[in-house]
Structure 1
């Protein structure tokens, strides 16, 4: 007697499916472990961010002195060290480690201010080589406090020139500036507008031994045009300063007349406390003999612009619409300093945008300053919001990541359960169609004779006979 059966596959599938609950348990445990680790990570990040001081960013002017801030709670006997990229810049009291030759003799600290908790470092004659990340380390016994300062160095644009040159064998319009850091960005335009593919300027940037840049940008002069203006715009990389110079050509009786104009735009922002006098700067980069000055104000909550004061250098007449609230010092006007002094500013009436416009012969200076005047209560609220936004901005990202990981595990478990269910259904379907053939010597098929046997099974039956 011989049995022909096809049960091995179904048995193995049954055994494999019997392992699925164990796998499900493992996945559930893994998901729980990931959630626990994420929670610990979240708590650790909160603790670390609350105890970490954010970096302070400052911009120092080329060849001028600069102060790198650092403060602490004084108890007496503190040791202070300043580092730049792990190299000692200054130490108090003086230690064996001395500053590098690059900074030697240019760093100092006030002993009197140190006793008050002010460990700020004075760096003299700043240059591009001094930029970088500085670390202030205050140590007393086992206690240690650190703060970081990111220092940038800038050499302002003082003038921009525009001329027509013929050095290359053909006429070119050249726009140039020098002794600038970092290298500024130069763009060209025309009036009326010209397609950019027809302008094709060539710009050269060269550095001197001090690290300052000279920028020259040349543009082929377009021929046969009248009342045509070339406009060169140079933007500073760090500060919100824009120089705009133009050259206008007009043909009169076959004679080309050129007119050059220069304009300077500057943006700034000032935060001040309510009731504290403040000065809004406005200083033209040129000394102009004949000019007019206009100060305007635009309230943050309104679209209407009001005139604060006007001044004419020829008549020396000042018209002040804000008497008792604002004034301009007439003694500094002739030097181009038209700064506005706000007296006892209030948060509601004086928060907005102040615009200073100085116009002279072929010269125009415009400065816009956003002034935020806050009351003590609003200032504390603003600082709290700022601290929360600066330290906890990443919390939503961590929470979203945690939810995404959990969702991924849930989807995986559901998919695994669905695959197992489909496998069980398929196994049951195959079992219902299985044929059990029992052969006993030369007897006929005793069971399943009403079914059509697989060709392989038929071959096996023939071999038995």
Structure 2
């Protein structure tokens, strides 16, 4: 019996639900009769002899057209969790017996990551359909001392053996300038996904314009930027921007816009024109989605609307104001009339008093001239008796 020729072990990672090739090669000539056997964990699962195959499972096959060229590789279709393990390929030819081992891992890749505020005090990060169970870490920007964040993480398998992961942290401060960052790494470190969340607040005034800021993470390329509006549990799409082709789809064309040159550089601020009070008060959500990255900014916008006075009330108010103005003018006229009348009487009284004074002075002068003084001489025509 020929001693098997042992080849070096090969490590293969199969992607869940995709086809996977387990390599095996040998040295052969056209005249050789070839027998190929594949074992999984010591159990025979596939056999090929005299040009015919006997698979244990219909999802397995060889590249029969290439066997004559020394290719004994096994094709696993739609690989799953049961595809894991240690495989042995044994090739018997006329001259040799060759053995090789393939160590197979199966990985269900991360396909998405989500982060959201589960309540006013907590932030939750999650992902689904992952295998093996991934690693999850939290951080913040600005950063806090180690041990401040105390995540509560739950990992559960589904019926197919795939894992879902959910992790929650309590907000460390009520400040609206803290970004919470969740990082999920696959078990084999082939993938690193990042999600972040920033929640802020702004105020605006009815009839004016407003700019809602949103900046992409550094070095994010070929991203999609979406803006949505939420109010009273109703969600409306505002616009979507694709950086790869610079295309923009705007549902709020009359009220919202982007600066596309700035957006291409990662500044996705939303420009709102002519705010309409309560109609545009709500939460504006900006999401940058890129390769294995997602950044979310939730901005609560409160728009103070001017008070609208009903038409009837407005007319009544104008009439009331007019009545007040008329009354004030009438009062001023009365006061002016009384003032002028008072001044007229006062002037007349002053003139009478002055006239009386002058008459009295003249009378006094006449009286003094009519009465002779005691030492005045007698007139010449007076006769004196001797």
Report the RMSD for the aligned CA atoms in angstroms: 3.8
Secondary structure, aligned partner of 1:203: strand
Could you say which structure has the larger radius of gyration?
2
The alpha carbon displacement at 1:243 in A equals: 1.1
Structure of higher RCO (CA pairs closer than 8 Å, 6+ residues apart): 1
Q: Which residue does 2:48 correspond to in 1? A: 92
Question: Which residues in structure 2 correspond to 1:89-128 (within 5 Å)?
Answer: 89-93=45-49, 104-128=57-81
Report the TM-score when normalising by structure 1. 0.44
Q: Which residue does 2:122 correspond to in 1? A: 172
Contact preservation (8 Å) 2:224, 2:241:
no
Q: Which residue does 1:190 correspond to in 2? A: 140
Contact preservation (8 Å) 2:33, 2:94:
no
The alpha carbon displacement at 1:141 in A equals: 4.2
Q: Which residue does 2:37 correspond to in 1? A: 81
Q: Deviations over 1:74-131 (max 9, x none)?
A: 2231100011111112111299x9766xxx2211112211122111111111011211
Q: Which residue does 2:96 correspond to in 1? A: 143
Q: Which residue does 2:13 correspond to in 1? A: 59
Alpha carbons of 1:179 and 1:94: their partners in 2 closer, same or farther (altered >3 Å)?
farther
Secondary structure, aligned partner of 1:194: coil
Alpha carbons of 1:284 and 1:135: their partners in 2 closer, same or farther (altered >3 Å)?
farther
Q: Which residue does 1:365 correspond to in 2? A: 290
Contact preservation (8 Å) 2:20, 2:79:
yes
The alpha carbon displacement at 1:142 in A equals: 6.0
Question: Which residues in structure 2 correspond to 1:206-225 (within 5 Å)?
Answer: 206-225=156-175
The alpha carbon displacement at 1:240 in A equals: 3.0
The alpha carbon displacement at 1:190 in A equals: 0.5
Contact preservation (8 Å) 2:28, 2:93:
no
For structure 1, which segment, 357-366 or 150-159, has the greater mean C-alpha deviation from structure 2 after superposition? 357-366
Count matched residues. 234
Alpha carbons of 1:262 and 1:155: their partners in 2 closer, same or farther (altered >3 Å)?
farther
Identify unmatched segments of 5+ residues in structure 2: 205-211, 227-238, 250-264, 269-285, 293-386
2:243 is matched with which residue: 284, 292, 311? Answer: 292
The alpha carbon displacement at 1:363 in A equals: 2.2
Contact preservation (8 Å) 2:130, 2:163:
yes
Q: Deviations over 1:168-202 (max 9, x none)?
A: xx732100000011111110001111123121101
Following TM superposition, the consecutive aligned residue runs of length 4 or more in structure 1 with deviations greater than 4 angstroms are: 97-100, 258-266, 282-289, 357-361
CA–CA distance in 2 between the matches of 1:154 and 1:132? Answer: 13
Bigger helix fraction: 1
CA–CA distance in 1 between the matches of 2:135 and 2:224? Answer: 19
Alpha carbons of 1:132 and 1:223: their partners in 2 closer, same or farther (altered >3 Å)?
same
CA–CA distance in 2 between the matches of 1:212 and 1:58? Answer: 19
Contact preservation (8 Å) 2:185, 2:192:
yes
